Amino acid sequence: MALMESRNQALWQARERFVPRGVAQAHPVFVARAQGVRLWDVDGREYLDFAGGIGVMNVGHGHPRVLQAVRAQLERFTHVCFQVTPYEPYVRLAERLALMTPGDFPKKTLFLTTGAEAVENAVKIARAYTNRPAVVALTHSFHGRTLLGMSLTGKASYYKQNFGPFAPEVYHAPAPYPYRGVSEAQALEGLEELFRTQVDPERVAAVILEPVLGEGGFIPLSPEYLRAVRRLTAAHGILLVADEIQSGFGRTGRMWAIEHSGVVPDLLTFAKSVAAGLPLSGVVGRSEVMDAPQPGGLGGTYAGNPLACAAGLAVLEVFAEERLLEKAEALGRRLWEGLERLKARFPQVGEVRGLGPMVALELVRDPVGKEPAPELAQRVLEAARARGLILLKAGMFGNVLRVLVPLVASLEEVEEGLGRLEGALEVSV
Protein backbone atom coordinates (compact mmCIF):
# COMPACT_ATOMS: atom_id res chain seq x y z
CA MET A 1 0.00 0.00 0.00
CA ALA A 2 1.26 3.44 -0.87
CA LEU A 3 1.90 5.81 2.00
CA MET A 4 1.49 9.44 1.20
CA GLU A 5 3.25 11.18 4.08
CA SER A 6 6.72 10.93 5.53
CA ARG A 7 5.95 10.26 9.19
CA ASN A 8 3.48 7.54 8.27
CA GLN A 9 6.13 6.11 5.92
CA ALA A 10 8.84 6.07 8.60
CA LEU A 11 6.58 4.46 11.16
CA TRP A 12 5.40 1.88 8.66
CA GLN A 13 8.99 0.90 7.94
CA ALA A 14 9.59 0.46 11.68
CA ARG A 15 6.36 -1.53 11.96
CA GLU A 16 7.53 -3.89 9.20
CA ARG A 17 10.89 -4.36 10.88
CA PHE A 18 9.74 -4.94 14.45
CA VAL A 19 6.10 -6.16 14.38
CA PRO A 20 5.09 -9.62 13.09
CA ARG A 21 3.30 -9.65 9.75
CA GLY A 22 0.49 -11.70 11.32
CA VAL A 23 -0.71 -8.54 13.05
CA ALA A 24 -2.45 -7.14 10.00
CA GLN A 25 -3.57 -3.54 9.45
CA ALA A 26 -6.62 -2.42 7.52
CA HIS A 27 -5.04 1.00 6.93
CA PRO A 28 -1.39 2.15 6.86
CA VAL A 29 -2.30 5.22 8.91
CA PHE A 30 -0.72 5.96 12.29
CA VAL A 31 -3.12 7.80 14.57
CA ALA A 32 -1.85 10.72 16.66
CA ARG A 33 -5.12 11.70 18.36
CA ALA A 34 -8.85 11.09 18.26
CA GLN A 35 -11.94 12.95 19.38
CA GLY A 36 -15.60 12.07 18.97
CA VAL A 37 -15.99 10.58 15.49
CA ARG A 38 -12.70 11.88 14.10
CA LEU A 39 -9.08 10.74 13.93
CA TRP A 40 -5.92 12.67 13.06
CA ASP A 41 -2.83 10.87 11.81
CA VAL A 42 0.79 11.68 12.60
CA ASP A 43 0.95 13.92 9.52
CA GLY A 44 -2.07 15.95 10.65
CA ARG A 45 -4.63 14.51 8.24
CA GLU A 46 -8.21 14.21 9.54
CA TYR A 47 -10.47 11.19 9.05
CA LEU A 48 -14.06 10.27 9.87
CA ASP A 49 -13.85 7.07 11.89
CA PHE A 50 -16.55 4.64 10.73
CA ALA A 51 -14.65 1.68 12.21
CA GLY A 52 -14.64 2.75 15.85
CA GLY A 53 -11.75 0.48 16.80
CA ILE A 54 -13.83 -2.48 15.52
CA GLY A 55 -16.98 -1.41 17.31
CA VAL A 56 -15.28 -0.35 20.54
CA MET A 57 -15.94 3.39 20.54
CA ASN A 58 -19.73 3.54 20.66
CA VAL A 59 -19.54 6.59 22.94
CA GLY A 60 -16.89 8.15 20.72
CA HIS A 61 -13.23 8.90 21.24
CA GLY A 62 -12.20 10.88 24.31
CA HIS A 63 -15.63 11.32 25.86
CA PRO A 64 -15.19 13.82 28.73
CA ARG A 65 -17.20 11.79 31.24
CA VAL A 66 -15.17 8.67 30.57
CA LEU A 67 -11.87 10.54 30.79
CA GLN A 68 -12.95 12.17 34.05
CA ALA A 69 -13.86 8.81 35.60
CA VAL A 70 -10.59 7.18 34.53
CA ARG A 71 -8.51 10.10 35.81
CA ALA A 72 -10.27 9.98 39.17
CA GLN A 73 -9.64 6.23 39.50
CA LEU A 74 -6.05 6.69 38.33
CA GLU A 75 -5.42 8.91 41.35
CA ARG A 76 -6.72 6.20 43.72
CA PHE A 77 -5.08 3.01 42.40
CA THR A 78 -4.56 1.27 39.06
CA HIS A 79 -4.33 -2.38 40.11
CA VAL A 80 -4.60 -4.62 43.15
CA CYS A 81 -6.24 -7.69 41.51
CA PHE A 82 -9.87 -8.33 42.41
CA GLN A 83 -9.04 -11.87 43.56
CA VAL A 84 -6.62 -10.44 46.14
CA THR A 85 -8.45 -7.40 47.48
CA PRO A 86 -11.78 -6.47 45.85
CA TYR A 87 -12.85 -2.92 45.02
CA GLU A 88 -16.12 -1.07 44.56
CA PRO A 89 -16.10 -0.23 40.81
CA TYR A 90 -16.06 -3.94 39.92
CA VAL A 91 -19.05 -4.72 42.13
CA ARG A 92 -21.04 -1.63 41.06
CA LEU A 93 -20.55 -2.32 37.37
CA ALA A 94 -21.34 -6.02 37.88
CA GLU A 95 -24.59 -4.97 39.55
CA ARG A 96 -25.54 -2.56 36.76
CA LEU A 97 -24.93 -5.11 34.02
CA ALA A 98 -26.76 -7.89 35.85
CA LEU A 99 -29.82 -5.67 36.13
CA MET A 100 -29.79 -4.45 32.51
CA THR A 101 -29.34 -7.71 30.62
CA PRO A 102 -32.34 -9.75 29.42
CA GLY A 103 -34.07 -12.05 31.89
CA ASP A 104 -36.31 -11.52 34.90
CA PHE A 105 -34.24 -13.70 37.22
CA PRO A 106 -31.18 -13.27 39.47
CA LYS A 107 -27.97 -12.77 37.47
CA LYS A 108 -24.29 -12.41 38.22
CA THR A 109 -21.42 -10.82 36.26
CA LEU A 110 -17.84 -11.94 35.75
CA PHE A 111 -15.27 -9.49 34.40
CA LEU A 112 -12.32 -10.41 32.23
CA THR A 113 -10.00 -8.57 29.85
CA THR A 114 -10.64 -9.63 26.24
CA GLY A 115 -13.55 -10.90 24.18
CA ALA A 116 -11.86 -14.24 23.66
CA GLU A 117 -11.52 -14.63 27.44
CA ALA A 118 -15.23 -13.92 27.82
CA VAL A 119 -16.08 -16.63 25.30
CA GLU A 120 -13.72 -19.15 26.89
CA ASN A 121 -15.13 -18.50 30.34
CA ALA A 122 -18.71 -18.76 29.11
CA VAL A 123 -17.86 -22.22 27.81
CA LYS A 124 -16.15 -23.15 31.08
CA ILE A 125 -19.19 -22.03 33.05
CA ALA A 126 -21.60 -23.87 30.76
CA ARG A 127 -19.60 -27.08 31.00
CA ALA A 128 -19.36 -26.80 34.78
CA TYR A 129 -23.11 -26.26 35.11
CA THR A 130 -24.29 -28.95 32.69
CA ASN A 131 -21.46 -31.44 33.20
CA ARG A 132 -21.45 -31.85 29.42
CA PRO A 133 -18.45 -31.42 27.09
CA ALA A 134 -19.73 -30.32 23.66
CA VAL A 135 -20.31 -26.81 22.33
CA VAL A 136 -22.07 -25.83 19.10
CA ALA A 137 -21.27 -22.64 17.18
CA LEU A 138 -22.32 -21.39 13.75
CA THR A 139 -20.49 -21.20 10.45
CA HIS A 140 -19.42 -17.64 9.50
CA SER A 141 -19.00 -16.88 13.21
CA PHE A 142 -16.10 -15.27 15.04
CA HIS A 143 -15.39 -15.95 18.71
CA GLY A 144 -11.74 -15.04 19.21
CA ARG A 145 -8.12 -15.96 18.43
CA THR A 146 -7.29 -18.22 21.39
CA LEU A 147 -7.31 -22.01 20.90
CA LEU A 148 -10.95 -22.40 21.94
CA GLY A 149 -11.91 -19.12 20.27
CA MET A 150 -10.41 -20.28 16.97
CA SER A 151 -12.06 -23.66 17.36
CA LEU A 152 -15.47 -22.02 17.80
CA THR A 153 -14.91 -19.55 14.96
CA GLY A 154 -16.69 -20.67 11.81
CA LYS A 155 -14.20 -19.22 9.33
CA ALA A 156 -10.95 -20.96 8.39
CA SER A 157 -9.12 -18.31 6.35
CA TYR A 158 -6.98 -15.87 8.34
CA TYR A 159 -8.08 -17.10 11.74
CA LYS A 160 -7.23 -20.81 11.69
CA GLN A 161 -4.36 -21.05 9.16
CA ASN A 162 -2.07 -23.87 10.34
CA PHE A 163 -2.67 -23.25 14.04
CA GLY A 164 -4.29 -26.61 14.79
CA PRO A 165 -5.02 -29.11 16.15
CA PHE A 166 -8.03 -27.37 17.59
CA ALA A 167 -10.04 -27.88 20.74
CA PRO A 168 -12.18 -31.03 20.75
CA GLU A 169 -15.94 -31.29 21.21
CA VAL A 170 -16.65 -28.19 19.11
CA TYR A 171 -19.23 -28.50 16.34
CA HIS A 172 -20.59 -26.10 13.73
CA ALA A 173 -24.13 -25.74 12.48
CA PRO A 174 -24.92 -23.69 9.35
CA ALA A 175 -25.71 -20.04 9.87
CA PRO A 176 -28.66 -18.58 8.00
CA TYR A 177 -27.41 -16.54 5.03
CA PRO A 178 -30.45 -15.83 2.85
CA TYR A 179 -28.52 -13.70 0.35
CA ARG A 180 -26.30 -16.70 -0.41
CA GLY A 181 -29.02 -19.33 -0.42
CA VAL A 182 -29.07 -20.63 3.15
CA SER A 183 -32.56 -20.02 4.50
CA GLU A 184 -33.45 -20.01 8.17
CA ALA A 185 -35.38 -23.24 7.70
CA GLN A 186 -32.32 -24.88 6.12
CA ALA A 187 -30.10 -23.60 8.92
CA LEU A 188 -32.42 -25.00 11.58
CA GLU A 189 -32.58 -28.33 9.76
CA GLY A 190 -28.77 -28.27 9.67
CA LEU A 191 -28.67 -27.87 13.44
CA GLU A 192 -31.05 -30.77 13.94
CA GLU A 193 -29.04 -32.85 11.46
CA LEU A 194 -25.91 -32.06 13.48
CA PHE A 195 -27.64 -33.45 16.55
CA ARG A 196 -28.66 -36.56 14.61
CA THR A 197 -25.33 -37.30 12.98
CA GLN A 198 -22.41 -35.71 14.85
CA VAL A 199 -23.19 -35.04 18.50
CA ASP A 200 -26.02 -36.20 20.74
CA PRO A 201 -27.77 -33.09 22.08
CA GLU A 202 -27.65 -34.64 25.57
CA ARG A 203 -23.86 -34.16 25.41
CA VAL A 204 -24.06 -30.48 24.40
CA ALA A 205 -23.38 -27.91 27.11
CA ALA A 206 -24.12 -24.80 25.07
CA VAL A 207 -24.99 -23.29 21.73
CA ILE A 208 -23.12 -20.01 21.23
CA LEU A 209 -24.18 -17.52 18.59
CA GLU A 210 -23.84 -13.87 17.65
CA PRO A 211 -27.29 -12.26 17.24
CA VAL A 212 -25.68 -10.37 14.35
CA LEU A 213 -22.69 -12.19 12.89
CA GLY A 214 -19.90 -9.62 12.96
CA GLU A 215 -16.79 -10.80 11.15
CA GLY A 216 -19.07 -13.09 9.17
CA GLY A 217 -20.48 -10.09 7.34
CA PHE A 218 -23.10 -8.42 9.55
CA ILE A 219 -25.64 -11.18 8.99
CA PRO A 220 -28.55 -10.66 11.41
CA LEU A 221 -30.22 -13.71 12.90
CA SER A 222 -33.96 -13.13 12.69
CA PRO A 223 -36.23 -13.20 15.75
CA GLU A 224 -37.93 -16.31 14.33
CA TYR A 225 -34.65 -18.16 13.95
CA LEU A 226 -33.43 -17.18 17.43
CA ARG A 227 -36.72 -18.25 19.00
CA ALA A 228 -36.53 -21.61 17.25
CA VAL A 229 -32.98 -22.16 18.50
CA ARG A 230 -34.08 -21.18 22.00
CA ARG A 231 -36.90 -23.74 21.90
CA LEU A 232 -34.52 -26.43 20.69
CA THR A 233 -31.89 -25.73 23.33
CA ALA A 234 -34.51 -25.64 26.09
CA ALA A 235 -35.91 -28.99 24.97
CA HIS A 236 -32.49 -30.62 25.39
CA GLY A 237 -31.29 -28.79 28.50
CA ILE A 238 -28.66 -26.90 26.48
CA LEU A 239 -27.57 -23.44 27.55
CA LEU A 240 -27.89 -20.60 25.03
CA VAL A 241 -24.96 -18.16 24.98
CA ALA A 242 -25.40 -14.83 23.19
CA ASP A 243 -22.06 -13.45 22.02
CA GLU A 244 -22.72 -9.69 22.14
CA ILE A 245 -19.08 -8.67 22.01
CA GLN A 246 -19.53 -6.66 18.79
CA SER A 247 -23.32 -6.27 18.69
CA GLY A 248 -23.80 -5.08 22.27
CA PHE A 249 -23.84 -1.68 23.95
CA GLY A 250 -26.29 -0.02 21.60
CA ARG A 251 -24.69 -1.07 18.35
CA THR A 252 -28.03 -2.26 16.93
CA GLY A 253 -30.27 0.37 18.54
CA ARG A 254 -30.96 -1.73 21.64
CA MET A 255 -28.50 -2.23 24.44
CA TRP A 256 -28.23 -5.87 23.38
CA ALA A 257 -28.98 -7.17 19.90
CA ILE A 258 -30.74 -10.25 21.32
CA GLU A 259 -33.43 -7.92 22.71
CA HIS A 260 -34.85 -7.41 19.20
CA SER A 261 -36.03 -11.04 19.29
CA GLY A 262 -37.36 -11.23 22.84
CA VAL A 263 -35.14 -14.29 23.37
CA VAL A 264 -33.50 -14.55 26.79
CA PRO A 265 -30.10 -16.27 26.77
CA ASP A 266 -28.70 -18.13 29.76
CA LEU A 267 -25.32 -16.43 29.37
CA LEU A 268 -24.27 -13.28 27.52
CA THR A 269 -20.72 -12.27 26.65
CA PHE A 270 -19.69 -8.65 26.22
CA ALA A 271 -16.54 -6.62 25.58
CA LYS A 272 -15.55 -3.88 23.09
CA SER A 273 -17.69 -0.80 23.87
CA VAL A 274 -18.28 -1.65 27.53
CA ALA A 275 -15.34 0.52 28.64
CA ALA A 276 -14.79 2.92 25.73
CA GLY A 277 -11.43 1.52 24.71
CA LEU A 278 -10.06 0.22 28.00
CA PRO A 279 -9.60 -3.57 28.05
CA LEU A 280 -12.68 -5.06 29.71
CA SER A 281 -14.93 -7.99 28.89
CA GLY A 282 -17.17 -10.35 30.74
CA VAL A 283 -19.95 -12.85 31.09
CA VAL A 284 -23.32 -12.18 32.68
CA GLY A 285 -25.98 -14.79 33.23
CA ARG A 286 -28.23 -16.80 35.47
CA SER A 287 -26.89 -16.81 39.02
CA GLU A 288 -27.15 -20.57 39.43
CA VAL A 289 -25.26 -21.08 36.18
CA MET A 290 -22.60 -18.48 36.93
CA ASP A 291 -22.04 -20.05 40.37
CA ALA A 292 -21.33 -23.52 38.93
CA PRO A 293 -17.50 -23.21 38.96
CA GLN A 294 -15.89 -23.62 42.37
CA PRO A 295 -13.89 -20.76 43.96
CA GLY A 296 -10.65 -20.27 42.07
CA GLY A 297 -12.09 -21.52 38.78
CA LEU A 298 -12.72 -18.04 37.37
CA GLY A 299 -10.70 -14.85 37.25
CA GLY A 300 -7.51 -13.36 35.84
CA THR A 301 -4.74 -11.08 37.04
CA TYR A 302 -6.04 -8.05 35.14
CA ALA A 303 -9.67 -9.17 34.94
CA GLY A 304 -11.98 -6.29 35.84
CA ASN A 305 -9.17 -3.75 36.09
CA PRO A 306 -10.31 -0.79 38.23
CA LEU A 307 -9.60 1.80 35.52
CA ALA A 308 -11.68 -0.18 33.03
CA CYS A 309 -14.52 -0.66 35.52
CA ALA A 310 -14.58 3.08 36.22
CA ALA A 311 -14.76 3.68 32.47
CA GLY A 312 -17.59 1.14 32.19
CA LEU A 313 -19.65 2.93 34.81
CA ALA A 314 -19.08 6.21 32.98
CA VAL A 315 -20.15 4.64 29.68
CA LEU A 316 -23.49 3.66 31.22
CA GLU A 317 -23.94 7.22 32.47
CA VAL A 318 -23.28 8.53 28.95
CA PHE A 319 -25.90 6.16 27.52
CA ALA A 320 -28.47 7.37 30.02
CA GLU A 321 -27.71 11.10 29.95
CA GLU A 322 -27.28 11.42 26.18
CA ARG A 323 -30.07 8.94 25.36
CA LEU A 324 -27.73 7.07 23.06
CA LEU A 325 -30.14 4.25 22.32
CA GLU A 326 -32.62 6.71 20.86
CA LYS A 327 -29.82 8.36 18.96
CA ALA A 328 -28.65 4.98 17.68
CA GLU A 329 -32.07 4.32 16.19
CA ALA A 330 -31.98 7.65 14.35
CA LEU A 331 -28.45 6.99 13.14
CA GLY A 332 -29.51 3.56 11.95
CA ARG A 333 -32.37 4.98 9.92
CA ARG A 334 -30.09 7.54 8.29
CA LEU A 335 -27.42 4.97 7.50
CA TRP A 336 -29.94 2.59 5.96
CA GLU A 337 -31.42 5.36 3.82
CA GLY A 338 -27.99 6.38 2.60
CA LEU A 339 -26.74 2.88 1.91
CA GLU A 340 -29.94 1.87 0.14
CA ARG A 341 -29.45 4.94 -2.05
CA LEU A 342 -25.99 3.66 -2.93
CA LYS A 343 -27.40 0.22 -3.68
CA ALA A 344 -29.89 1.77 -6.10
CA ARG A 345 -27.09 3.64 -7.85
CA PHE A 346 -24.37 0.96 -7.95
CA PRO A 347 -25.36 -2.56 -9.08
CA GLN A 348 -22.19 -3.88 -7.47
CA VAL A 349 -23.84 -3.33 -4.09
CA GLY A 350 -25.56 -6.68 -3.86
CA GLU A 351 -27.19 -6.25 -0.46
CA VAL A 352 -27.53 -3.80 2.38
CA ARG A 353 -28.03 -5.68 5.64
CA GLY A 354 -27.60 -5.52 9.36
CA LEU A 355 -29.63 -4.33 12.31
CA GLY A 356 -30.05 -0.66 13.20
CA PRO A 357 -26.75 1.23 12.93
CA MET A 358 -24.84 -2.09 12.65
CA VAL A 359 -25.10 -2.15 8.87
CA ALA A 360 -22.99 -3.25 5.91
CA LEU A 361 -22.76 -3.49 2.11
CA GLU A 362 -21.99 -6.77 0.36
CA LEU A 363 -20.15 -6.07 -2.89
CA VAL A 364 -20.47 -8.40 -5.89
CA ARG A 365 -19.27 -8.47 -9.48
CA ASP A 366 -22.85 -8.46 -10.73
CA PRO A 367 -26.20 -8.51 -8.95
CA VAL A 368 -27.47 -11.63 -10.74
CA GLY A 369 -24.59 -14.04 -10.28
CA LYS A 370 -23.68 -12.54 -6.90
CA GLU A 371 -20.03 -13.51 -7.30
CA PRO A 372 -18.15 -11.95 -4.37
CA ALA A 373 -15.95 -8.97 -5.24
CA PRO A 374 -13.23 -8.76 -2.57
CA GLU A 375 -10.92 -6.81 -4.85
CA LEU A 376 -13.62 -4.16 -5.30
CA ALA A 377 -14.11 -3.98 -1.54
CA GLN A 378 -10.39 -3.35 -1.12
CA ARG A 379 -10.41 -0.62 -3.77
CA VAL A 380 -13.35 1.10 -2.09
CA LEU A 381 -11.64 0.82 1.30
CA GLU A 382 -8.54 2.53 -0.06
CA ALA A 383 -10.47 5.16 -2.02
CA ALA A 384 -12.53 5.97 1.07
CA ARG A 385 -9.37 6.40 3.12
CA ALA A 386 -8.00 8.75 0.46
CA ARG A 387 -11.17 10.80 0.99
CA GLY A 388 -10.77 10.81 4.77
CA LEU A 389 -13.08 7.93 5.73
CA ILE A 390 -11.96 4.88 7.72
CA LEU A 391 -13.95 1.69 7.05
CA LEU A 392 -13.45 -2.03 7.64
CA LYS A 393 -14.12 -5.15 5.61
CA ALA A 394 -15.79 -8.33 6.80
CA GLY A 395 -17.43 -11.47 5.47
CA MET A 396 -16.34 -14.95 4.45
CA PHE A 397 -15.02 -13.60 1.14
CA GLY A 398 -13.73 -10.23 2.36
CA ASN A 399 -16.29 -8.45 0.17
CA VAL A 400 -18.43 -6.78 2.85
CA LEU A 401 -17.93 -3.17 3.92
CA ARG A 402 -19.17 -2.66 7.45
CA VAL A 403 -20.10 0.54 9.25
CA LEU A 404 -19.33 0.93 12.95
CA VAL A 405 -19.74 4.67 13.35
CA PRO A 406 -19.70 5.86 16.98
CA LEU A 407 -23.22 6.44 18.27
CA VAL A 408 -22.36 10.00 19.26
CA ALA A 409 -21.98 10.94 15.59
CA SER A 410 -24.23 13.72 14.38
CA LEU A 411 -26.51 13.18 11.41
CA GLU A 412 -24.34 15.69 9.57
CA GLU A 413 -21.24 13.59 10.21
CA VAL A 414 -23.07 10.48 9.03
CA GLU A 415 -24.12 12.30 5.87
CA GLU A 416 -20.55 13.49 5.35
CA GLY A 417 -19.26 9.94 5.68
CA LEU A 418 -21.87 8.59 3.27
CA GLY A 419 -20.83 11.20 0.74
CA ARG A 420 -17.21 10.12 1.02
CA LEU A 421 -18.24 6.48 0.61
CA GLU A 422 -20.25 7.36 -2.47
CA GLY A 423 -17.21 9.12 -3.94
CA ALA A 424 -15.09 6.05 -3.22
CA LEU A 425 -17.57 3.81 -5.02
CA GLU A 426 -17.66 6.17 -8.00
CA VAL A 427 -13.93 5.78 -8.65
CA SER A 428 -13.75 2.09 -7.78
CA VAL A 429 -16.53 0.31 -9.66
Catalytic residue among 107, 155, 272, 393: 272
* Alpha-carbon gap, residue 290 to 362, rounded angstroms: 38
* Alpha-carbon gap, residue 156 to 140, rounded angstroms: 9
Quick check: helix, strand or coil at residue 248?
A: coil
204: number of Cβ within 10 Å: 24
* Alpha-carbon gap, residue 94 to 282, rounded angstroms: 9
* Alpha-carbon gap, residue 125 to 421, rounded angstroms: 43
With b for 16 or more beta-carbon neighbours within 10 A and e for fewer, the 125-148 pattern comes to bbbbbbebebbbbbbbbbbbbbeb
Residue 119 CA, distance from chain mean position: 12
155 included as an active-site residue: no
CA distances from 250 to 7, 140, 270 (A): 36, 22, 12
Looking at residue 336, its amino acid is W
* Alpha-carbon gap, residue 244 to 221, rounded angstroms: 13
* Alpha-carbon gap, residue 218 to 187, rounded angstroms: 17
Catalytic residue among 30, 82, 142, 319: 142
List phi, psi (to 5°) of 395. 95, 155
Q: Which helix (H) or strand (E) holds 105?
A: none
Q: Which helix (H) or strand (E) holds 46?
A: strand 46-49
* Alpha-carbon gap, residue 156 to 142, rounded angstroms: 10
Beta bridge partners of 207: 136, 240
Which of 263, 267, 250 is closest to 330 using CA atoms?
Answer: 250
Catalytic residue among 30, 41, 218, 243: 243
Q: Is the peptide bond before 374 cis (omega within 30 degrees of 0)?
A: no
142 included as an active-site residue: yes
* Alpha-carbon gap, residue 115 to 117, rounded angstroms: 5
Q: Diameter of the chain by CA atoms?
A: 62
Catalytic residues, by residue number, are 142, 243, 272
